[in-house]
Amino acid sequence: MNDNEFLALVATRSGMSSEQATAVTQATLTTLAERIDGGEARDLAGQLPAGLRPYAFGGSETGERFGLDVFVQRVSGRADVDVDRARDGVTAVFDVLRDALGPTGYEQVVTQLPAEYGDVADQTAPYARRQA
């Protein structure tokens, strides 16, 4: 999957314009990299399309611990969209990540997140692909 395919899937699944989908995708990957451990963020970046990799590098080896509401608020601020649109976008990005990373890669990412993130990232069945 290349950058354009990834972003087009996020736009389709979230109902956003391509510009909004790009901003939300970049913001989600940046926020996710802050939330997970540095080694896992590097692994994630290595599995993403080349144009999205820079957004997935974490700033530290130990991920920050914050809940889903803070995650969505950070994405909202970074992407300049309201919180409801941000939540829809975050969900779409996680759906596309499932397809892009495959079962093992996706599971490695979502297992680092607390259960409340199940609202945007299905943690109970990381191997199942949701239909658009």
pLDDT at residue 99 in the model: 87
- Helix (H/G/I), strand (E/B), else coil: 24: helix
Given this model, what pLDDT does residue 124 score? 53
Helices and strands in the chain, H and E counts: 5, 0
pTM of the model: 0.90
pLDDT over threshold 50, residue 23: yes
Per-residue model confidence as pLDDT tens digits over 38-54 = 888 999 999 999 999 99
Pairwise pLDDT comparison (129 vs 60), residue with the higher score: 60
**In the predicted model, is pLDDT for residue 105 greater than 80?**
yes
